[in-house]
Amino acid sequence: MKKILACLTLASLSLPAVSADWKLISETEDPEKIISWYVDMSSIVREDDYLRAYLRTSWSKPQYAPDQTAYQSSTYLNYFDCDAHKIAYTGNNYYRSPEPEGKPVHTEPEYPLAQLKFQSVVPGSAGEMRLRFVCKFRSTNFMTQSDVSDYAG
């Protein structure tokens, strides 16, 4: 029973919380096409030497995938290397509306941390804003992956 509980707990961590605590990080100023970036505050945790968090991008106008599928938001898992100023992301889910509601119209798989490619953030970019915002919490006592498995076991 303890193993089942531990597995369920860890599995639930790989998905954004149903009642995510989305906080606006930044927004473009172009009134023709507003892009908003959010972080799920309840998802910020330490994993190894990184912080990880679920993020969301929302567009004021529909975007189109190569197959012409329309979407207006995406959620994705980011890993932040605060010292090296790099980000890696995985597990994109695209939604028809600006809010991540219902079934995604497209899903990209989530890969393990060891398979991710970290990229340097461009100064002044949305990536830098995400990194700066999330890395403010690295000295905060967030629960780590090992803390969760210790608690469940």
CATH of the domain at 63: 2.40.128.710
Lookup: tokens for 93: 């889910």
Contacts of 137 (CB under 8 A, 6+ apart): 44, 51
- pLDDT reported for residue 32: 86
Alpha-carbon distances, residue 135 vs 1, 10, 48, 85 (angstroms): 36, 23, 14, 9
Nearest to 131 by CA among 142, 143, 123: 123
Band the pLDDT of 147: cuts 50, 70, 90: very low
Tell me, what's the pLDDT at 146? Answer: 43
As for how many domains the chain has, the answer is 1
pTM > 0.95:
no
Least Cα distance to 60 among 29, 83, 81 occurs for 29
pLDDT confidence band for 141 (50 / 70 / 90): low
**Residue 17 pLDDT:** 42
Indicate the pairing of strand 50-64 with strand 119-120: unpaired
Q: Domain range holding 39?
A: 2-152
